[in-house]
Amino acid sequence: MVREAPRKTPEQLLQQCQAEEAAATKGHLKIFLGYASGVGKSFRMLDEARRRKERGQDVVVGGVQSKMQPEEAALLQKLEVVPLKPVNAGSAVDVETLLRRHPAVCFIDGLAYDNPSGARNPTRWQDADELLRAGIKVIASINIQYVAELSQQVEAITGKHVTQTVPVAFIKS
């Protein structure tokens, strides 16, 4: 005898449809993960931006680190950049401009940065999450010691303590 699955209530069907719709409209996250600063994450990320632009994709750089190698600066000159927004004594990703511009792909370097007080979100990864929820694909870079659930293990090995972290749940999203 074959048992039929219980029928879903209208509320359950609505929740399922809303979840499927949210998943279909959410952008995708790609991470360039490194074990330390200077291993080439930023260069590889910007080179991917260049290649995507050459293939006709709508790409924007939404956040870069202030210090960069000459090769990275040369790549950056070939790309559209939305400058960081000045906020109090620092700067943050200009989420408002990026949401209005709504590129297909936004590149963000240094995902683990904390934003200055007064910024739209407390952290850069939350800026990226907001872009993802708006349907923008985000490609970002981060070092392994900044992954929250791994930071203590990395500190035990390297002796380097970090306070700015990104939850692994966000990285897996």
DSSP letter assigned to residue 41: H
Helix, strand counts (H, E) of the chain: 7, 6
CA-based R_g, the chain, Å: 19
Domain regions of the chain by residue span:
27-172
> How confident is the model over 104-114, as pLDDT tens digits?
999 999 999 99
Strands of the sheet containing 137-143, edge to edge, are 29-34, 137-143, 105-108, 59-63
> How confident is the model over 32-59, as pLDDT tens digits?
998 888 888 999 999 999 999 999 999 9
Are 43 and 14 in contact by the 8 Å Cβ rule? The answer is no
pLDDT in the model for residue 19: 62
Q: State the pLDDT confidence band at 27, using cuts at 50, 70 and 90.
A: confident
- Mean pLDDT computed over 72-92: 92
In this structure, the number of other CB atoms found within 10 A of the CB of residue 85 comes to: 17
DSSP letter assigned to residue 166: B
Give CA–CA dist 158/98, Å, rounded. 36
Query: Is the CA virtual torsion 160, 165, 167, 171 positive or negative?
Result: negative
Higher local confidence (pLDDT), 93 or 14 = 93
Q: State the pLDDT confidence band at 92, using cuts at 50, 70 and 90.
A: very high
> Is 28 strand, coil or helix?
coil
And the tokens for 159? 């002796």
CATH T-level topology, domain 27-172: Rossmann fold (3.40.50)
Share of the chain above pLDDT 90, in %: 54
And the tokens for 47? 């080179």
The answer on pLDDT for 151 being more than 80 is yes
pLDDT in the model for residue 36: 81
pLDDT in the model for residue 8: 81
pLDDT in the model for residue 20: 62
